[in-house]
Structure 1
Amino acid sequence: MIDDITALRESWSEAEPPSPEARDRARAALRARIAEHGAAVPSRPERHGRRLPGWAWRSGLAALGAAALVAGVVAAGGPDPATPPARPAPYVASGPVAQTFELAAVHAETEPFTPPRPDQWTYVELRIVRGKIAQDKGQDTRETTRSWQRADGRQSAVMLDGKLEVSTESTDLPQVTPPQDYPTLAGLPTDPRALLEWLRDRSPSGRDGDEVAYNLIDSMLRDNVLPPGVKATLLRALALIPGVTRSSGPVDFDGRPAIALGMVQDGWRQEDILLDPTTHEFLGGRTVVVEDHTTPEGVRLKEGDVEVELIRVAGRIVDAPGQTG
């Protein structure tokens, strides 16, 4: 049951919006970063084709993806001679996808954060909206999940039918992908290119490494309360994945406008990451159908259908399971 709910988690939204001064500093930092590497900052993103992300199987239903998206151009830059070997030069990226993820990364770097103690817990609350597949299976189309993960990774908890279920403490640190314990998360590579390679290596078969990396980043952003530097590096790594595209304009996400950036998987669905169009805060994810498709169970899905929305309602550090603030 805990694994199912963990798989269904997919959304982030708790942090306070930054002040106008913080936004100005973030924009200035972005422009300085791009100008430092000789890339122009266009006033308006270019608009191109469309894309879609993939099936993420959650709680017995698959998450699909689709929507009109903008093609982004991402290029990894060569080493900077002036940069010491211990700190690889930041990647050089251009196009609407890279610029949008850079703004999201700069926002992440401004978020307040206090590292948790080993005995503290990460609390994540998600609101899930499901589509036709859930209806066909008789599942709830709307659900809120509340889950806790101890910072040392040795214990977890979930709220089921109003009752708190706490797992037995593990004597050994569970080896899970993606990692959920704070020490492992905090120790991830801080260079986007190195982190992307680390994630690609998590592919069980060695194939579809970019899809695996994309889905792992999506999950890590949704399901954790991350150190600002780690969160920013994950967002910058997304800009280096080929095939990630950006919506040409705001899309509707849980009744609010959002920027959708996504990746087509399996040819007919797209997994989208949603950002606030003003602050570029991470909001959650969704699966959209980009090509008419019939599931093995006979459910007919139409282009444009949103099959899953995972809205991150809260993400914070608490002292004990069951606490929400």
Structure 2
Amino acid sequence: MNDLDILHDAWEAPAPPSRAAHDAARAALLARAAGTAALAPAPARRRRRLGLRVAVVGAVAAAAVAGVTVVQTGGSDGHGRPRPVIPGIPPGPVANAAEALDRAALAAQGTAARPEQWIYTEVTDRYPGTAHKARVERPTDGLRTRVVRSWWRADGKEAAEEDAGRLTTRPLSDPVPADVTDGRTMLHWAYGQVPGGREDERDPVVQGEVFGRLNAMVREHEVPARRLSLVFKAIALIPGVKLVPGRVDALGHPAIAVGRVTEGWLREEVLLDARTYAYVGERSIAIKDHTSTGMDGTSTVKKGTIQLIAARTKVAVVDRPGQRP
């Protein structure tokens, strides 16, 4: 089963972009081309690990969301060498997972929101409708859809989420100690956050839990944008994390996957934009039949069964929680 087959079976046809979204994206793209783009608006005075939330902003993202076809090319310098698409990120393809995640770390540092502004994200999840109910899960089972709308203050101090039309705001604090300053210390801290992590960091099951824990920190905006790069660097240090080029995200855009196989049967992938290295989604899929036994009995997941496929469908910088672009 290839990427297009998975998307065809799992994803509903996207709604066409609104005229306002199309016009805004076109204006942003033209401004970027002219070198005058202003990425932030002026102030106005589980089955498993569900809920992808992404903190990537910019005109390129806006154009992709609005359905505008964008051919990004940095061109070349005076010596014929390719220019980077995003300033500060090296041009050209990556050779391995560490290099891809290093570029993702650089992209994470480029968030354009001011500290008092908010990052709005709209994320669409598709996951098994029979999770925890069926004794056997198959690729042909139907998937449920959930749309999550969230707002995250750029300085990491507050978050808000909309549920049944009601907005709830809550305070946030950085859970990572101040002495975590690089990828290795971030990874060591993460091992302490999962069961058994301190006992044996070589246990592949523990490593899978750490991979999931760090991914959740990106999705859930658990750390301020200024420290997000450390999370990507820590992911690159987990054994078994590999680069999978040639993927597409849930919207059909070219993507790079960085992932690992957990417990021998579940392939979990983080999806990065193939040009900008922005974090754009994730998916989990069974690569072999798996049977587990718990207190409620025995259950089986068949090869090819999707456990989660998620996509960032909208992202923007706004001035207050509850505001939509």
Q: Same fold (TM over 0.5)?
A: yes
Residue identity matched to 1:166: T
Q: Specify the alignment match of 2:85 in structure 1.
A: 23
SS for the counterpart of 1:246 is strand
Provide closer, same or farther for how the CA distance between residues 210 and 299 of structure 1 changes in structure 2, counting only shifts above 3 A. closer
Identify the structure with bigger relative contact order (alpha carbons < 8 Å, sequence gap 6+): 1
* Contact 1:292–1:301, Cα closer than 8 Å, also in 2: yes
- Matches of 1:320 and 1:107 in 2, distance apart? 24
Aligned to 2:246: 249
Letter in 2 for 1:23: V
Q: Match of 1:58?
A: none
How far apart, CA to CA, are the structure 2 residues paired with 1:209 and 1:136? 26
Query: Does the Cα contact within 8 Å between 2:124 and 2:148 map onto a contact in 1?
Result: yes
Q: Which residue of 2 aligns with 1:166?
A: 168
The Cα of 1:242 is off from its aligned counterpart by: 0.6
CA-to-aligned-CA distance 1:114-149 (integer Å, 9 cap, x gap): 223xxx766442101124645977986122112346
Q: Distance in 1 between matches of 2:268 and 2:280?
A: 14
Alpha-carbon offset, residue 113 of structure 1 = 3.5
- Helix, strand or coil: the match of 1:249? strand
Gapped runs of 5+ residues in structure 1? 32-42, 46-95, 174-180
Return the letter of the residue paired with 2:271: L
**Among residues 118, 124, 127, which one is paired with 2:124 in the alignment?**
127
CA RMSD across the alignment: 3.9
Whether 1:191 and 2:182 are equivalent positions in the alignment is yes
C-alpha separation in 2, matches of 1:203 and 1:316: 32
In structure 2, the partner of 1:81 is none
Q: 1:286 to 1:145 in 2, by over 3 A?
A: same
Q: Who is 1:141 aligned against?
A: 144
Deviations along 1:49-105, whole A, 9 cap, x unmatched? xxxxxxxxxxxxxxxxxxxxxxxxxxxxxxxxxxxxxxxxxxxxxxx1111111212
Q: C-alpha distance in 2, partners of 1:110/1:153?
A: 15
- Asked if structure 2 preserves the Cα contact closer than 8 Å seen for 1:159 and 1:165, the reply is yes
Q: Which amino acid counterpart does residue 110 of structure 2 have in structure 1? A: T
* SS in structure 2 at match of 1:304: coil
Alpha-carbon separation, structure 2, partners of 1:153 and 1:13: 11
CA contact (8 A) 1:131 1:308 kept: yes
SS of 2:85's partner is: helix
The correspondence for 2:211, drawn from 207, 211, 214, is 214
Q: Which residues of 2 match residues 283-302 of structure 1 at below 5 A?
A: 283-294=280-291, 301-302=301-302
User: Hey, what's the Cα distance between the residues in 2 that align with 1:217 and 1:201?
Assistant: 12
Question: What are the superposed Cα offsets for residues 6-34 of structure 1, whole Å, 9 maximum, x if unpaired?
Answer: 95211437522398365264344x89xxx
Alignment-derived partner of residue 101 in structure 1: 101
C-alpha distance in 2, partners of 1:129/1:260?
Answer: 18
Contact 1:270 1:290 in 2 (8 A): yes
Question: Are 2:249 and 2:280, in contact at CA under 8 Å, matched by a contact in 1?
Answer: no
Count of residues in Structure 1 that have an aligned counterpart in Structure 2: 245
Q: Counterpart amino acid of 2:255? A: A
